[in-house]
Every structure is written in C-alpha cells, then in structure tokens.
Amino acid sequence: MIDTQGLGFRFAGTNGVLRFPDVRVPSGGTLLLRGPSGSGKSTWLSLVAGLRVASEGRVSVAGTDLGTLSGPQRDRWRSVCVGVLPQRLGLSDALTVFDNLALVYFAAGLPVDRRAIERGLAALGVGALAQRRPQQLSGGQAQRVALARAVLRRPAVVLADEPTASLDDAACENVLALLREHTQAHGATLVVATHDARAVQAWPDAPRLNLPPGGGA
C-alpha cells in the first residue's frame, strides 16, 4: 500500500539531500514514524501524500507511482486516496465546521454529501458543532473535526502528523482510539508520525521507522 525506494528530498536553496530508509507498509497496516522535531517526519509524510515531489527515488501509494503524476493529477489522486491529519490542523476560521468538511468534496470535484458530513461529525462526538467556527472550538474538539475531515471519504491511507502533540492525557487517549477505530473499520493503512510516547504505546506491535535528529522539516 505504501512503498518507498531510495527516497530523497532536496530543499530549495540547499545542496544536501535528505534521504529516508526504504519502507513498505501493507494494505491495512500501521507504521509509527518516529523521531524528534526537525528529523524529517513531516517531510516524509508530505512526500507520501504527494504534497512534495521526491528529488530522488520512488514513492508508490495505493498502487500509484506518484512520480508519474502531474501536479493536478496528484491533487486529484490525494483527494480520493489519502486523508491527512496535519500537525497544524488547517481549519479555516472563515468557514463553519460543516463547510470545512465540505471542502473535501470540492477538492475531489464532487457534489457535497451532507449526510456523510453529518454522520462523520456525529461519529466523532462533534455533530452539535457543525455550525460553529473553528475559533469557537476547544483544542480537543478541533482535533476531532480535523480527524472527521481526514477520514470523511474513507481514504485508503490516513497520515497523522503529531496528532497528540498539544493534547492532555484524556484528549490524547480519545484521539488515538478514534484513529485506530476508524482506520480498522475501513481497512485503511495508517501512518502516525510522533515523538509522543503515549502514541507509541497505543500501537505497541506496529513497525517503526526511526529518523535521526536534525534531518529536516
């Protein structure tokens, strides 16, 4: 489901290449991407999500070689195949919670499925917040909304970047349980990038990709 070979990325204006170990995550599997802040976890996730283009090597996700796609093709592919829970949640304060989720359908060029949005929010316990704006939410509520957005269209791959970094223990346990339940329910492949020991404990048997400090963003 996720297969990388010889993967490397060069940041603009630099000579060095950030290189990553080869990875293979089977369909429905879970990978813990570990390392301190600045080790390259977010860069690796962005390459797998098609948000950045590899400088070296090959990335194949859900049967698609991302190196063969143009920019618009990658955007369309991502809107169908990948759900991203970013470290900075990226919810627009100009829109309601409902409309933030509706953007998922606009990105895919599809009509908005109101019932699916309502079900997704309700399943994560934030159905009553649909008409609020993100700035009116608590940190835990915003995290749930972002998770609902990530899994809304049942993507084949879910990428979570430091999903527990700013959460207290109770909210952390809740978000991790929801991630696990939703990916297992739909057979999705899950990657969790984290340096939080609480997240590691949630998947004690999952394989790990450990990145050394000082790798990159």
CA dist 91 and 151 (Å) reads: 15
pLDDT class of 216 with cuts at 50, 70, 90: low
pLDDT class of 206 with cuts at 50, 70, 90: very high
Q: Is residue 52 part of a domain?
A: yes
Cβ partners under 8 Å of residue 113, min gap 6: 105
Question: In angstroms, how far is the first alpha carbon of the chain from the final one?
Answer: 24
Q: Is residue 98 part of a domain?
A: yes
Residue 98, number of CB atoms within 10 A of its CB? 18
Q: What is the pLDDT of residue 60?
A: 97
CA dist 183 and 217 (Å) reads: 26
Q: Is residue 204 part of a domain?
A: yes
- pLDDT of residue 10 exceeding 70: yes
pLDDT class of 146 with cuts at 50, 70, 90: very high
Q: Is residue 82 part of a domain?
A: yes
Q: Is residue 8 part of a domain?
A: yes
CA-angle at 64, arms to 58 and 70, nearest 5°: 80
CA dihedral sign, ordered 88, 1, 65, 120: negative
User: How far out from the chain centre does Cα 122 lie?
Assistant: 20
Determine the average pLDDT of the residues in 55-78: 95
CB 50 within 8 A of CB 66: yes
Determine the average pLDDT of the residues in 46-60: 96
Is pLDDT larger for residue 59 or for residue 181?
Answer: 59
The CATH number for 21's domain is 3.40.50.300
Q: What is the pLDDT of residue 165?
A: 80
Q: What is the pLDDT of residue 85?
A: 93
Q: What is the pLDDT of residue 20?
A: 94
What is the residue range of 52's domain?
2-209
CA dist 207 and 94 (Å) reads: 39
Establish how many alpha carbons lie within 13 A of residue 188's alpha carbon, considering only the half-sphere containing its beta carbon: 26
Q: What is the pLDDT of residue 77?
A: 94
- What is the residue-averaged pLDDT of the chain? 92
Does an H or E element contain 49, and which?
A: none
Q: Is residue 92 part of a domain?
A: yes
Q: How many domains, in total, are found in the chain?
A: 1
pLDDT class of 215 with cuts at 50, 70, 90: low
The pLDDT tens digits for 68-86 are: 999 999 999 999 899 999 9
Q: Is residue 217 part of a domain?
A: no
The pLDDT tens digits for 148-164 are: 999 999 999 999 999 88
The pLDDT tens digits for 88-140 are: 899 999 999 999 999 999 988 899 999 999 999 998 889 999 999 999 998 88
The pLDDT tens digits for 160-181 are: 999 888 788 888 888 898 888 8
Q: Is residue 214 part of a domain?
A: no
